[in-house]
């Protein structure tokens, strides 16, 4: 996200790209409907003619019943396409498991040994000048770009939701349940997200920071993390 951005963030995954296209498509249809309704309302107000003989209009009644149904089909079909596209698991290269706790996320890279850690929000007094308030974490989720990733989400106490807008990922973390999502990241960089469930009064947004890197850098990070258990907060 950039400052004063009111619309959707730039996408970092193919699914989010499609979601933005669908958003624009639905918005265009909405604009057409709003214009038509607005035009009709204005012309009704301005029209002073009356007729004592018009009692029914079967043709217009039929048309304005069928037309909205057809318009809805044009929204529903791409919406369903996207829904099933997001649900698809395309032979993932690795799995990331995340568990929601009050007030932090913990991550497990189950394809590698000894690779799990907690990710807390950086406290305001510890914040470096170049970090984002309420949005940065002490341990980032490092992930390789351009490879399909399976995300497994659950919670240890109450409801949470693992939400990263630029990836188009929003998965509920529910105690006693495993939810699955899949995504791939198509560019390097830092991707920010927050928990979007009501985990508790004054909950601190439970930020998520993904560090998207190349496959080589990711492998280096994994071997470094697996070797030393002191450098990072590991469980």
Q: Which residues bind ligand CUA (CB under 6 A)?
A: 100, 160, 195, 197, 199, 203, 206
At closest approach, how far in Å is the CB of 87 from ligand CUA?
23
Closer CB to ligand CUA, 90 or 177, in the complex: 177
Nearest approach, Cβ of residue 205 and ligand CUA (Å): 7
Rounded Cα–Cα distance for residues 193 and 136 (Å) = 9
| Cβ contacts of 103 within 8 Å, gap of 6 or more | 120, 121, 199, 200, 203, 204, 206
What are the backbone angles phi and psi of residue 165, rounded to the nearest 5°? -60, -40
Q: How far is the CB of 163 from ligand CUA (least distance, A)?
A: 9
- Nearer of residues 95 and 204 to ligand CUA, judged by Cβ: 204
According to DSSP, residue 181 is labeled E
**Of 90 and 133, which CB lies nearer to ligand CUA in the complex structure?**
133
Measured CA to CA, the distance from residue 6 to residue 165 in angstroms comes to: 13
* Smallest distance from ligand CUA to CB 159, Å: 7
Q: Residue 176 Cβ, how far from ligand CUA at the closest point, in Å?
A: 16
The minimum distance between CB 134 and ligand CUA, in angstroms, equals 12
Tell me the CA distances in angstroms from 227 to 112, 114, 213, 217, 220, one per residue in order. Answer: 11, 9, 20, 15, 11
* CB closer to ligand CUA, 141 vs 199: 199
In 3D space, the residue among 213, 99, 228, 229 whose CA is nearest the CA of residue 153 turns out to be 99
- Minimum CB distance to ligand CUA smaller for 25 or for 170: 170
Nearer CB in complex with ligand CUA: 45/201:
201
Q: How many CA atoms lie within 13 A of 143 on its CB side?
A: 34
Residue that is written with structure tokens 């730039």 in the block: 10
């Amino acid at each position: 996200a950039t400052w004063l951005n009111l619309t959707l963030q730039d996408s970092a995954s193919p699914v989010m790209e499609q979601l933005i296209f669908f958003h624009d498509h639905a918005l265009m249809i909405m604009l057409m409907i709003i214009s038509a309704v607005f035009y009709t309302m204005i012309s009704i107000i301005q029209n002073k003619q009356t007729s004592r003989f018009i009692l029914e209009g079967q043709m217009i009644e039929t048309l304005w019943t069928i037309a909205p149904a057809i318009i809805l089909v044009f929204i529903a079909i791409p919406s369903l396409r996207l829904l099933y596209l997001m649900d698809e698991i395309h032979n993932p290269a690795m799995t990331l498991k995340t568990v929601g706790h009050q007030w932090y996320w913990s991550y497990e890279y189950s394809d590698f040994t000894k690779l799990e850690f907690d990710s807390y929000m950086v406290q305001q007094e510890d914040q470096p000048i170049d970090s984002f308030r309420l949005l940065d974490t002490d341990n980032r989720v490092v992930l390789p770009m351009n490879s399909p990733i399976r995300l497994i989400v659950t919670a240890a106490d109450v409801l949470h939701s693992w939400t990263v807008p630029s990836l188009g990922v929003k998965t509920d973390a529910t105690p006693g349940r495993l939810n699955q999502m899949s995504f791939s990241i198509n560019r390097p960089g830092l991707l920010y997200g927050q928990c979007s469930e009501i985990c508790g009064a004054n909950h601190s947004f439970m930020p998520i920071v993904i560090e998207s890197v190349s496959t080589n850098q990711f492998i280096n990070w994994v071997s470094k993390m697996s070797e030393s258990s002191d450098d990072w907060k590991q469980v």
